[in-house]
Amino acid sequence: MFAAMKTRVGLALMMGLLCLTGGVSAAAAAGPQLKVSVVHATKQAGAKDPALKKVQGQLEKAFAGYKSFKELAKHQFTLKKGAPAKLKLPNQKSATFDYQGRAGKAHKVAMTIGRNSLDLKIPERRLFFQAGLKYRDGILVLALYLK
């Protein structure tokens, strides 16, 4: 009777360890969270967008020639190697983010918009801008944040 109980307890412990190990490897396989804000920047003065309150100063500094910033869309993805994240931009193009792995304190991400590809090193927990696509009377700015 005690031998059977020992066997059951041993099996239960072994199953628990296997479940824990499987959970850790699944979490390790997932990459960082990517937050993307799609911002329209124009040279005409306009009201400040409350959605950009936290990053307004950084946008104004990085894009000094632009006077108005409006958030058009917000997206969040969990990046994984071999599983590109894709989003539709307001200019009818798509942006694809293909996670390549870590590079020190940054993450390597291949970003493709239309026929243009860029290899980015995006710092972790720091705002990073990618901009230049013409849109209406201004440009699109992709505000990227990895955590």
The arithmetic mean of pLDDT across residues 59-83, rounded, is 96
Average pLDDT, the chain: 84
The arithmetic mean of pLDDT across residues 123-133, rounded, is 91
Domain spans, the chain: 31-146
Q: Are 91 and 133 in contact (CB under 8 A)?
A: yes
pLDDT of residue 45: 93
Taking only the tens place, the pLDDT of each residue in 6-17 is: 434 343 333 333
Q: Are 77 and 97 in contact (CB under 8 A)?
A: yes
The arithmetic mean of pLDDT across residues 3-32, rounded, is 45
